[in-house]
Amino acid sequence: MESLPALLQALRQDAAAAPEDVVLRAQTALEELLTNSVTHGHASAQTGSQVGLSVRCHGGAVYLRYEDDLAAFDPADKLREALQRTENPLDQRPPGGLGLLMVYRLADEFRYARDGERNCLDLAFQVRPVVS
């Protein structure tokens, strides 16, 4: 988690041309992904785990690739579980388990791939129309 400020700063710097609301959605998603890597994937400096981030900005959109070298993890199953949780009334839901769904809904594109020994999540954050 000690790398979070540097990752957020790198994202903000690489996405400087994007609108603030787009950057904030990307930063929120990045923070959740890193938290999940540490909490659920047990990533840490002690284990030698590596997390990678690449960011590009084009036409007001932010494209983010988040990678880690943890055990293979396809988020599709967890997204299905999270969607099922939301079908229950709030007072009948167990706490937690919605962070990945939040990332999915913050992003306009969400793709997972396993590349060798790395989990790769490609996300796109685009300008959204303002709803009044």
- At residue 43, the pLDDT reads 57
Instruction: For Cα atoms 57, 111, 45, give the angle at the middle one, nearest 5 degrees.
Output: 80
Please report whether residue 132 resides in a domain: no
Domain-located, residue 24: yes
Range of the domain at 68: 4-125
**Does 29 map to a domain?**
yes
Contact between 108 and 116 (Cβ < 8 Å): no
Domain CATH code at residue 20: 3.30.565.10
Q: Assign 53 to helix, strand or coil.
A: strand
Number of domains in the chain: 1
Q: What is the pTM of this model?
A: 0.82
Give the strand pairing for 51-58 and 118-125: unpaired
Tens-digit pLDDT string for the chain (132 aa): 567 788 888 888 899 899 999 999 999 999 988 887 766 665 555 555 677 888 999 989 999 999 988 888 888 878 888 787 788 787 877 776 678 888 999 999 999 999 998 999 999 999 888 777
The pairing of strands 61-68 and 51-58 is: antiparallel
